[in-house]
């Protein structure tokens, strides 16, 4: 279709615009550019930052003492082997729509709620640092996050989930929460791939969509069958999250996913480290061992990822 050439008849050919008309068009173009620049500055203005900070702060106060958050913290405490010192947050979405009158109630509610719960988890567990990335972040959202919590580091480059938590933990045996509600399957797969080691996967606690539900969809979804976390499912536990009606849109199908302590001994026998200090220590990897698949290269260019 790119090779098609449209030929216009002589009768339909338009005259070239006069110099005056061209000048007017240029002025309109310049005016449009100025307006766009002014709009960007307006979006990240102190007034809008203040409004968005106020909105998130109200969400924090509203959710903090609700039964949902108390149950979530209890579930995390059941799963965690120690208090998590770090968090990684992926794909929360455009929470700044909360102050946009044109946004629908559902659309503006969900990202704002997800962000508030993430910030509350950081506070509850006294997390030292958090990594945050969303590919559609605005300057307003960046400024707001820095205002709300100076311990949040914003990733500018889209790593598509290829992130080793050891870079964050600095080789310390600390637990890390991967906060990823409603992220694409390939993103979860890339996170597992990037942390394929006995030590790191035991320290990884994912809050996101059920891996088991993806497993059931493998027969009808071509991409689902390629997820590298499937071999690990026998060693993983998924804790349910008790939701109220008003949290269903934000956290529907969300679970706390981790390697269960009762399975860790068998897990350590079978997993062949691909990252970290244990690389090269396993010998004679046979069919019964869990060797990291050749991923995520096929996933990196898909539209499903952040």
DSSP assignments along 73-112, one per residue:
HHHHHHH-SS---EEEEE----GGGGG-TTS-HHHHHHHH
* pLDDT at residue 300, as a whole number: 42
How far is 230 from 209, CA to CA, in rounded Å? 14
* pLDDT at residue 38, as a whole number: 40
Where do the DSSP E strands lie in 118-175?
Answer: 129-133, 152-154
How far is 66 from 73, CA to CA, in rounded Å? 11
Cis peptide before 296 (omega within 30 of 0): yes
Q: Distance of alpha carbon 35 from its chain centroid, rounded?
A: 32
Residue 102 CB contacts under 8 Å (≥ 6 apart), including other chains: none
Phi, psi dihedrals of residue 22, rounded to the nearest 5°:
-60, -40
Q: Are 127 and 86 in contact (CB under 8 A)?
A: yes
How far is 64 from 68, CA to CA, in rounded Å? 9
Tens of pLDDT along the chain (306 residues) come to 444 333 344 344 444 444 444 444 444 444 333 344 444 545 678 888 999 999 999 999 999 999 999 999 999 999 998 889 899 999 898 999 888 755 444 444 689 999 999 999 999 999 988 999 998 889 999 999 999 999 999 988 888 888 889 888 877 778 999 999 999 888 998 999 999 999 999 999 999 999 888 766 555 455 555 678 888 899 999 999 888 888 988 998 899 999 998 988 999 999 998 875 444 444 444 557 888 877 544 344 444 445
Q: Which of 112, 115, 147 is nearest to 132 (CA)?
A: 115
Q: Are 197 and 109 in contact (CB under 8 A)?
A: no
* pLDDT at residue 227, as a whole number: 74
* pLDDT at residue 221, as a whole number: 52
Q: What is the pTM of this model?
A: 0.77
How far is 117 from 241, CA to CA, in rounded Å? 13
């Amino acid at each position: 279709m790119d090779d098609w050439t449209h030929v216009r008849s002589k009768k339909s050919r338009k005259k070239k615009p006069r110099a005056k008309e061209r000048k007017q068009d240029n002025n309109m173009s310049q005016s449009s550019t100025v307006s766009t620049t002014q709009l960007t500055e307006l979006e990240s203005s102190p007034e809008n930052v203040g409004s968005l900070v106020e909105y998130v702060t109200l969400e924090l106060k509203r959710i903090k003492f609700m039964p949902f958050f108390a149950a979530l913290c209890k579930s995390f405490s059941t799963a965690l082997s120690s208090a998590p010192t770090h968090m990684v947050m992926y794909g929360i979405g455009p929470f700044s729509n909360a102050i946009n009158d044109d946004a629908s109630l559902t659309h503006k509610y969900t990202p704002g709620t997800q962000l508030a719960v993430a910030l509350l988890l950081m506070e509850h567990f006294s997390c030292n640092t958090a990594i945050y990335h969303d590919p559609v972040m605005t300057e307003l959202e960046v400024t707001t996050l820095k205002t709300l919590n100076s311990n949040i580091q914003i990733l500018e480059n889209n790593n598509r989930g290829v992130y080793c938590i050891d870079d964050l933990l600095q080789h310390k045996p600390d637990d890390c929460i991967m906060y990823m509600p409603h992220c694409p399957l390939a993103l979860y797969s890339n996170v597992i791939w990037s942390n394929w080691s006995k030590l790191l996967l035991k320290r990884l606690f994912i809050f996101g969509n059920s891996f088991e539900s993806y497993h059931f969809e493998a027969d009808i979804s071509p991409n689902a069958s390629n997820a590298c976390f499937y071999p690990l499912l026998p060693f993983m536990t998924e804790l349910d999250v008790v939701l109220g009606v008003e949290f269903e849109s934000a956290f529907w199908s969300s679970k706390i996913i981790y390697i269960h302590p009762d399975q860790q001994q068998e897990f350590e026998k079978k997993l062949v480290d691909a990252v970290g200090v244990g690389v090269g220590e396993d010998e004679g990897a046979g069919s019964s061992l869990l060797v990291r698949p050749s991923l995520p290269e096929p996933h990196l260019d898909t539209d499903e990822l952040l």
